[in-house]
Amino acid sequence: MKKNKYELLAPAGDMACLKAAVSAGANAVYLGYDEFSARAKAKNFNKEELIEAINYAHLRNVKIYVTFNILIADFEVKRAMESVKMLYDIGVDALILQDIGIASEIRKNFPDFEVHASTQMAVNNFYGAKLLKNMGFSRVVLARETPIFELEKIKELDIEVETFIHGALCVSYSGECLMSSMIGGKSGNRGECAQACRKSYEILDFNGNIIGKRLYYISPKDLNTLDDVAKIIKSGGYSLKIEGRMKNSEYVYTVVSSYKKSLENKLTLEDRKDTEQVFNRGFTKGLFNGDFGNNFISSDRPDNRGVEVGKVIEVTKNLAKVIFDVDIYQGDGIEFLSNKGRFGMRSVKLYTAKIPHEISLSKTPILNSKINRTYSKRLYGKVDEKIENSNYKRDLDVNLKIKIGEKPTIKVRSGDHRAFYELDKIVEIAKKSGLNRERVIENISKTGDSIFKVKNISMDLDENAFLSISAINELRREVIGILESKILKDSINRVEIQYNLENKKIENKDKKSKIKIFFNKFKNLEKSNLENIDEIIIRAKDLKKFSEKYNKEVSIYLDKFYSYNELENLREYLLKIDNVKGIWINNLSEYYIFKDDDIKINGDIGLNVFNKLSLDFFDNLGFNSITLSPELNSGQIQKIIALSDAEINVISYGRVPVMTMKHCPFSIIKNCVDERNCPSCKFKNYLLRDEKLVDFEVLRQNTFTEIFNSYPILLDAYVKKLVENNISLLLLADEFTDEVVELYKNYEEENFKRIKEKIEDKYRQVTKGHINRGIVSG
């Protein structure tokens, strides 16, 4: 079958949303199974509902992709693979995956099961896509921040590109956000994000002065590319993805319908208005289209704002006089602004546009303030009617044979699919009048609720033949059932597969615990005793300064994201420097470009190594050492290290980066329109203070931003167990680094208490991270 120029990919949280997506013109639908989905709060589908969804979609030439896009704990692996087999057997068209270990296992055991790399894998460039292609992925869902020129480069590869075109945005690169996890144990990598980005913050300098009033500095607007989809396709985008598995069927239908019309050059002003009305936080064209700062962030509010429909023109004690720009219907949701915030109400009657109306309100709105409509009952009614009246049909050609003395037969064809049915009954000679040709055609054409519409009928009918109408109906009903079964069977076309989970053999390599320290700021390195450190890790920007001052080997920390040409330039630079012996990578693309070079590759936390399968994957690639996810608890860590001979690192001290993003919060204050002034900007390092008055350090590095956890990890006696197990301790440096190193080299409870008090004096608190709690129980 010839491939379309594009695929319009819609979300579905339940069967109603799936039907809405199909009726609006989606080519494929993505949805979640009951387990292992990155929208844990969505309704999702159980096995029976999935089978119903697959049958419904496949009969209508629509594909079903299942989101299997979370990190999976070791104790869940067996159950996860059993779920994969079930999804394979019932005919899911593709799995969307985050966990690299699970992905590797699926490719090994289910080689013909199509797999897509989730945006949670954080792939944003050509080299990451190339690695995934080599692994057997048929599609990469690019990071939402990926620029257009990168799509054009990836187009050189034989891999499908899926890119977001509409809906809610994460401010952080997906898969690289630990903020909700570290604050409250609700991990985005497990589909449970508590959306810290949608909270308000103040901006402070390091002296405690407020330099930015409380706003929603990291809450993005919703993506809207209705005017840009043709450009995205031309640049290399194939699957055009609409976000919204938590949204209702009216939202799904409205947005999918608008994009379908845009792609067919049929978009109207009414479609644009409906798309805005159904849900919006304000709209952005996205970072990849050049939006930045206030064009990207909704700093005044984090929620649906609806559309502006009127104004408050007079205020008295219990009444407000208003004027609307459009008719407001009974049941519409309208929102006002008071001195104490926003409040809403349902319209109790029709308010005609352009004339003043008095409305009794529970609160007093601000004079001359805007009125928004957040819910349009008329729009929802219109959409519900369209969904209900949608009736997808396949053309059906019918060949009917009714010959006296023979069994009647019917042959049908729809596209490439054919079916045949013979009725176990002999056609008799009519005692009075024979079958009426028009009556037979009428009954054969009654396809009812099936997906078929009779287009052509050819009939070999003896003149005086008799067959009951019920028999004719049986012919039609049975052959349609056979044809549907054939279409569904052909859409699945799976072979029986048995899978086996194999554990890598332990070779008991000679290894010992090491102290490895990452110096995010060069000033902390200058104040540290480097003789106590087994591996010094710095940023590439500090390499020249380091080489001039120290005659030591050094490893380079690679940032989480580069474009393909930035990565090429970085590689060329690092390979020229003699004292660079290792790199610490945070992205699959970084491994790919350095894999054939004589340099030690170490895996950092950006790789999200959450289970032994993932550890083995990177170990088999030849990694020098691998850092376990900071979201693992001690029990999970111990189980992994007991079964592995790899050199393993565990973050043992410091403030973990909890967000990595292209956006700069201070751009909201400076009203920056792009990144051109980032290198020379003096507002690169400051604090975000949340609604609970907890501070998070923000550091702008060239053209991306990192937010660090408010409290540093400081391990207690558990560090002795790590050392005994020959696990290397990875520390994120600050002014307390030397004291922490001494503590960890010779742990004593009294020293721990003393150092803990000193650190708490600066940071207010320390944390053990997830060592005790983790993000998943079991």
Using the structure block, give the residue that is written with the tokens 């540093």: 712
* Strand arrangement, sheet containing 370-375: 341-346, 333-338, 370-375, 307-315, 319-324, 356-360
* Tens digit of each residue's pLDDT (9 = 90 or more) over 560-577: 999 999 999 999 999 999
Q: Write out the CATH class of domain 7-169+220-288.
A: alpha beta
For residue 286, pLDDT over 60 is answered with: yes
d(CA 221, CA 217): 11
Q: What is the mean pLDDT of residues 409-415?
A: 95
The whole-number pLDDT of residue 505 equals: 61
Domain 515-655+712-763 matching CATH 3.40.50.1110: the answer reads: no
The whole-number pLDDT of residue 500 equals: 73
Could you write out the DSSP letters of every residue in 442-495? HHHT--TTSSEEEEEEEEEE-TTEE--HHHHHHHHHHHHHHHHHHHHHHHH---
* Tens digit of each residue's pLDDT (9 = 90 or more) over 615-646: 999 999 999 999 999 999 999 999 999 999 99
pLDDT band at 504 (very low <50, low <70, confident <90, very high): low
Pairing label, strands 728-732, 515-519: parallel
pLDDT band at 778 (very low <50, low <70, confident <90, very high): low
pLDDT band at 417 (very low <50, low <70, confident <90, very high): very high
For residue 372, pLDDT over 50 is answered with: yes
pLDDT band at 300 (very low <50, low <70, confident <90, very high): very high
The whole-number pLDDT of residue 1 equals: 43
Pairing label, strands 704-708, 695-701: antiparallel
Mean pLDDT (the chain, rounded): 94
Q: What is the mean pLDDT of residues 109-123?
A: 96
515-655+712-763 matches 7-169+220-288 in CATH topology: yes
Instruction: Please tell me which residue, 35 or 175, carries the higher pLDDT value.
Output: 175
Please state the CATH superfamily assignment of the domain spanning residues 307-389 in this structure.
Translation factors (2.40.30.10)
Torsion of CA 767, 773, 775, 778, to 10 degrees: 160
Instruction: Kindly state the helix (H) or strand (E) to which residue 259 belongs, with its residue range.
Output: helix 249-263
- Measured in whole angstroms, the distance separating CA 730 from the mean position of its chain's CA atoms is 29
**DSSP three-state, residue 239:** strand
pLDDT band at 508 (very low <50, low <70, confident <90, very high): low
For residue 36, pLDDT over 90 is answered with: no
Q: Please enumerate in sequence order all residues whose Cβ is within 8 A of that of 724, keeping only pairs 6 or more positions apart, or say none.
A: none
Instruction: Count other C-beta atoms under 10 Å from residue 74's C-beta.
Output: 19
Kindly state the percentage of the chain with pLDDT values over 70.
Answer: 97
Could you write out the DSSP letters of every residue in 618-664? HHHTT-SEEEBPTT--HHHHHHHHHT--S-EEEEEEE--EEEEES--
- Measured in whole angstroms, the distance separating CA 396 from the mean position of its chain's CA atoms is 39
The whole-number pLDDT of residue 41 equals: 64
Using the structure block, give the residue that is written with the tokens 């520390």: 731
Task: State in Å, rounded, how far the first CA of the chain is from the last one.
Answer: 46
Using the structure block, give the residue that is written with the tokens 């729009």: 379
Q: What is the mean pLDDT of residues 705-734?
A: 97
The whole-number pLDDT of residue 460 equals: 94
CA distances, 580 to each of 389, 538, 603 (Å): 66, 10, 16
Least confident stretch, 4-18, 455-469, 487-501? 487-501
Query: Could you state, in order of their start, the residue ranges of all structural domains in the chain?
Result: 7-169+220-288, 307-389, 395-492, 515-655+712-763
For residue 96, pLDDT over 50 is answered with: yes
Contact 608, 560 (CB under 8 A): no
Kindly state the percentage of the chain with pLDDT values over 90.
Answer: 90
* Tens digit of each residue's pLDDT (9 = 90 or more) over 162-216: 999 999 999 999 999 999 999 999 999 999 999 999 999 999 999 999 999 999 9
Using the structure block, give the residue that is written with the tokens 């003393």: 754
Buried-exposed string 247-279: b where 16+ CB fall within 10 A, e elsewhere? bbbbbbbbbbbbbbbbbeeebeeebbebbbbbb
